[in-house]
């Protein structure tokens, strides 16, 4: 007697079982619609330029590096850098299993001003506040993930939480941490903003990126204050970017004042000299990152007398609001003092 073929379609089987155990349909939906490839497709669809995935397992080497950096006081007075949650993202999302890392190219090809009376502002802050741009895209991706099935949990950050974004970007295969502390990508150099989504979905991970700085030391040699004390270690106490943005003291240290070279908000010197940036920088397609005219052609003498109302008008919807009016005046005056 011939054996009857009783096989049925797997989806039909799940459907039948789900009528008895409804929660199974949610689990199956999650498994089907949140593959790593589908997550990446969605991220690119939302406008991210690069995306990778890593497992949340702690990285002992990066934890040791962070602890050593803090112990040597290289974080200056940025006390938030010592938040213990930075050592394990599961302190931010207890049941996290995967980190989805994303990058957004912000490069625009406009040159920095060369006139001695003009202020230099870091490229990342020329246009709209990157937090707003990234948060909008991350929120949309996070909501899409949550809709994949019941019980999906997410948490997202864009330079806004105790997460080592460059470490996760390297582990997710997006790029590698360079000798100047920035993350370099093969596609866009280091002119990228980073963000991440923590999730309790267990996704297929990417291979960590390998290091490609080689024997190059251009960033170390170009830094006017020797803030890159050795490869991969940056001392904020010597960094122009730190002092112009984060330092809340009334005056800047004399050894910083003497080497500002026109910088009043951040510093791009170590990025500008990087061979990877000189070769692979590409104009961004994100219109919000195009420079506001007032951020590219501003006189030091005008910033030295910046009023509260002018500050509020000029830096609305800008990451530069972190620099308060009196700090702009301080930074500009320090440059003017040594411009002769």
CA distances from 218 to 146, 214, 221, 333 (A): 44, 11, 5, 29
**H or E stretch covering 23:** helix 23-33
Q: What is residue 137's three-state secondary structure?
A: helix
297 part of the active site: no
Segment (H or E) for 17 = helix 10-20
Using the structure block, give the residue that is written with the tokens 């990446």.
40
- Which of 27, 38, 91, 44 minimizes the C-alpha distance to 204? 38
Query: Would you give per-residue pLDDT tens digits along the chain (340 residues)?
Result: 443 444 444 445 544 554 555 554 445 444 445 699 999 999 999 999 999 999 998 889 999 999 999 999 999 999 999 999 999 999 999 999 999 999 999 999 999 999 999 999 999 999 999 999 999 999 999 999 999 888 999 999 999 899 999 999 999 999 999 999 999 999 999 999 999 999 999 999 999 999 999 999 999 999 999 999 999 999 999 999 999 999 999 999 999 999 999 999 999 999 999 999 999 999 999 999 999 988 988 999 999 999 999 999 999 899 999 999 999 999 999 999 987 6
- Residue spans of beta strands (DSSP E) within the chain: 50-55, 98-105, 120-121, 154-157, 176-177, 183-184, 192-199, 228-230, 233-234, 263-265
Please give the Cα distance from 88 to 96 (Å, whole number).
10
Length of the chain (residues): 340
Are the C-beta atoms of residues 307 and 314 closer than 8 Å to each other? Answer: no
Q: How many helices (H) and strands (E) does the chain have?
A: 14, 10
| Catalytic hit among 77, 88, 159, 310 | 159
């Amino acid at each position: 007697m011939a054996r009857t073929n009783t096989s049925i379609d797997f989806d039909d089987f799940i459907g039948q079982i789900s009528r008895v155990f409804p929660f199974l349909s949610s689990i199956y939906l999650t498994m089907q619609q949140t593959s790593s490839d589908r997550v990446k497709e969605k991220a690119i669809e939302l406008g991210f330029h690069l995306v990778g995935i890593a497992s949340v397992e702690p990285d002992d080497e990066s934890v040791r590096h962070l602890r050593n950096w803090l112990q040597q006081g290289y974080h200056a007075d940025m006390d938030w850098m010592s938040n213990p949650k930075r050592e394990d993202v599961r302190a931010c999302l207890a049941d996290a299993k995967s980190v989805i890392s994303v990058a957004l190219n912000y490069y625009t090809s406009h040159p920095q001003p060369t006139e001695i009376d003009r202020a230099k502002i870091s490229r990342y802050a020329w246009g709209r506040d990157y937090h707003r741009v990234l948060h909008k895209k991350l929120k949309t991706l996070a909501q899409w993930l949550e809709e994949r099935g019941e019980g999906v949990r997410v948490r997202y950050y864009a330079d806004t939480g105790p997460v080592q974004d460059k470490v996760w970007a390297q582990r997710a295969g997006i790029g590698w941490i360079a000798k100047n502390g920035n993350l370099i990508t093969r596609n866009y150099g280091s002119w990228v903003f980073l963000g991440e989504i923590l999730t309790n979905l267990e996704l297929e991970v990417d291979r960590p990126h390998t290091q490609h700085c080689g024997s190059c030391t251009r960033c170390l040699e170009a830094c006017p204050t020797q803030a890159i004390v050795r490869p991969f270690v940056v001392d904020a106490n010597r960094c122009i970017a730190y002092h112009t943005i984060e330092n809340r003291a009334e005056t800047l240290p004399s050894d910083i004042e003497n080497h500002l070279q026109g910088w009043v908000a951040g510093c791009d010197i170590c990025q500008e000299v990087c061979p990877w940036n000189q070769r692979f920088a590409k104009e961004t397609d994100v219109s919000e990152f195009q420079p506001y005219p007032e951020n590219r052609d501003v006189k030091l003498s005008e910033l030295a007398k910046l009023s509260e109302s002018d500050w509020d008008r000029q830096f609305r919807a800008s990451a530069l609001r972190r620099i308060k009016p009196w700090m702009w005046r301080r930074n500009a005056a320090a440059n003017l003092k040594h411009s002769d």
